[in-house]
Amino acid sequence: MSKSLDSPVKTLTAGPHHIIYAFSREHPPVMTALPGETVVFEVLDCYGGLIRTEADSFDPATWDRINPSTGPLFIEGAEPGDTLAVDIKDIEVGDYGIITAAPGTGARGDLIRKSATMIVPVKNGLVYFGDSFIFEARPMIGVIGTAPATGSIPTGTPGHHGGNMDTKVITKGSTVYLPVSVRGALLALGDLHALMGDGEVLMCGVEISGRVTLSTRLVKGRQFPCPVVETGEAYYVVHSAETLDEAAQQLVGHSVDLMTSHTGRTPEECLTLLSIKGNVQISQIVDPLKTVRMEIPKSILGSL
């Protein structure tokens, strides 16, 4: 059952009782929505609003309180074994973003001699980086996921449930396909960026608060081997593992599984197509697990 998109919009605020730091079935839902209803998530920045000036710095010891995520949202009719399709309608970001550096963090924390914080104005769709550069803002969602069947996964960690995938194609106009492992799915999201490069090598992009407008759909009785992101021209299979090598090898296998199940082609045919038209891309290399994605053009996969 779905509800008209013309129905009143529901807003999930980023209040203290609407924030989680781990994806878990133990978190009670803070709101319920029908598939098709429009929901607005108000989202804190990844530091939870604790960094406000350039005199404030990030403490790596607080990693377990990183990426506060708004939710969880209970989706009526979502049952284990389904897939939740999340249609991202809009991402609005705040007036300023935050970039922090701390010794020992990121891809080359050994090169960072002292902690530093930069407050970055974001105005009229532009990011003002000091006096040297002005960049076009490209807002994206770093953390979006559903509750796993068992256990608890910190919002700073990516996985099969989604989570901290830091994948820059998760933006306005994209659809994110996530597994439903518990009744209601228990969707939550956070960690917005006004701008982030692939790899997120410093450990952060332009971290920012904001609002995400979305609606959901259900694919009943069917799941994909990994989270999948759909854009206008391609599907992106997203996978995370302890090392980039492991993540990339496993990603190729999952991409072949997805293609064989949806096209009927042989594994050899799918590997050939992926080798000449697919693109293995790095999402991030700084989280507890590393995340990669396979871009598969719709011209060779069709519609999911």
- Identify the DSSP state of 96: E
Run of H or E residues at 211: strand 210-219
List, in order of start, the domains of the chain with CATH numbers: 10-223 (2.60.120.580), 230-301 (3.10.28.20)
Residue type, 88: I
Pick the range with the lowest mean pLDDT from 62-71, 106-115, 262-271: 62-71
Cα–Cα dist 190/172, whole Å: 14
161 Cβ partners below 8 Å, 6+ apart?
23, 145, 146, 147, 148, 153, 178, 179, 181, 227
Q: How confident is the model at residue 60 (pLDDT cuts 50, 70, 90)?
A: confident
Q: What is the pLDDT of residues 246-271, one digit of tens each?
A: 999 999 999 999 999 999 999 999 99
The distance from CA 70 to its chain's CA centroid, rounded to whole angstroms, is 13
224 Cβ partners below 8 Å, 6+ apart?
83, 177, 179, 237, 258, 304
Tell me the two tokens of residue 54.
């350039």
Cα–Cα dist 32/13, whole Å: 13
Q: What angle do CA 135, 142, 288 make, to 5 degrees?
A: 120
Tell me the two tokens of residue 75.
């989706």
3-state DSSP percent of the chain in helix, strand and coil, to 5: 15, 40, 45
Q: What angle do CA 49, 166, 108 make, to 5 degrees?
A: 85
Tell me the two tokens of residue 73.
């949202």
* Burial state string for 84-117 with b = 16 or more CB within 10 A and e = fewer than 16: bbbbbeebebbebbbbbbbeebbeeeeebeeeeb
pLDDT above 70: residue 1: no
281 Cβ partners below 8 Å, 6+ apart?
198, 236, 292, 293, 294, 295
Run of H or E residues at 252: helix 244-263
The reported pLDDT for the residue numbered 17 is 86
| pTM, entire model | 0.95
- Averaged over 217-242, what is the pLDDT? 97
pLDDT above 60: residue 57: yes
Q: 90 with 212: CB under 8 angstroms?
A: yes
**Residue whose tokens read 């009526």:** 76
Q: What is the pLDDT of residues 15-33, one digit of tens each?
A: 888 999 999 999 999 999 9
Q: 285 with 201: CB under 8 angstroms?
A: yes
pLDDT above 90: residue 64: no
Main-chain phi, psi angles of 256, to 5 degrees: -65, -45
Kindly tell me the sign of the dihedral angle through the C-alpha atoms of 72, 78, 82, 83. Answer: negative
pLDDT above 60: residue 279: yes
Helix (H, G, I), strand (E, B) or coil at 47: coil
Cα–Cα dist 31/39, whole Å: 10
